[in-house]
Amino acid sequence: MNYFVPQGNSLKINIIVAMTDYSSIIAATVSYVKQELADAEGGHDWWHIYRVWQQAKHIAATETVDLLVVELGALLHDIADSKFHHGDENIGPAKAVAFLQTQVVPEVVITHVENIIRHISFKGGNQEKSFYSPELGVVQDADRLDAMGAIGIARAFNYGGFKNRLLHDPAVQPNMQMTKEEYKNSTAPTITHFYEKLLLLKDRMNTPTGKELAIERHTFMEQFLDRFYKEWEGEI
């Protein structure tokens, strides 16, 4: 398994960024994302971005990372989610790069953020990693945490409703060996998605903080499913 960690002169980057107004870059990015996602589906809207952004900053405080890269990666990671753009995985990174080039952001930071956007998604969980950095690890953990627990459950059913999917069909079994294309084109009931993605996330976290936070959210989802099946059969 090959990992690519971007190399660069961190001191030089920090000096360049210090010469600009760090907060103005973040504020401009927030404004841009809010505008772009104004009409987004409720599970992938500005508030999803906000939660991931806040969670990423919390996790980053326990890691040695470039906070500017983390914040920009979190804010822009779903700027054009491929599932809302006919499966095109290049639109999001391209839009992020085009926006960041309008800001006073070093090119090495832009490239790093672009790579985070390209490699953050779950995509069925069977894809070999071709890029990794501590910053990606932080943002990916924050994004995965938002797919777990109470909010993760709410998002799953919101998206299922958006796609007019069944809540559950006992005859439909999870496909645990999906290819990237099968995962992207799945029309399975929402409950199936718990097994094909949500319940797998706990063991795929990158950071110690992410792993710790995932435990409680994972347990909550298991408790939810237990009650769901009992209510489905009229047992309670």
- Low-confidence stretches of the chain (pLDDT < 70) are 1-20, 82, 84-87, 123-128
Scanning the chain, the segments in alpha helix (DSSP H) are 10-18, 22-36, 46-60, 67-76, 91-100, 107-119, 134-145, 149-162, 180-184, 190-196, 208-232
Task: Check residue 127 and report its DSSP letter.
Answer: P
What confidence score (pLDDT) does residue 109 get?
Answer: 97
- Domains of the chain are 10-232 (1.10.3210.50)
pTM of the predicted structure, to 2 decimals? 0.87
Amino acid identity of 98?
A
CB 179 within 8 A of CB 124: yes
What confidence score (pLDDT) does residue 171 get?
Answer: 97
What confidence score (pLDDT) does residue 26 get?
Answer: 97
Please calculate the CA angle 211-218-208 and round it to the nearest 5 degrees.
5
Secondary structure (3-state) at 35 = helix
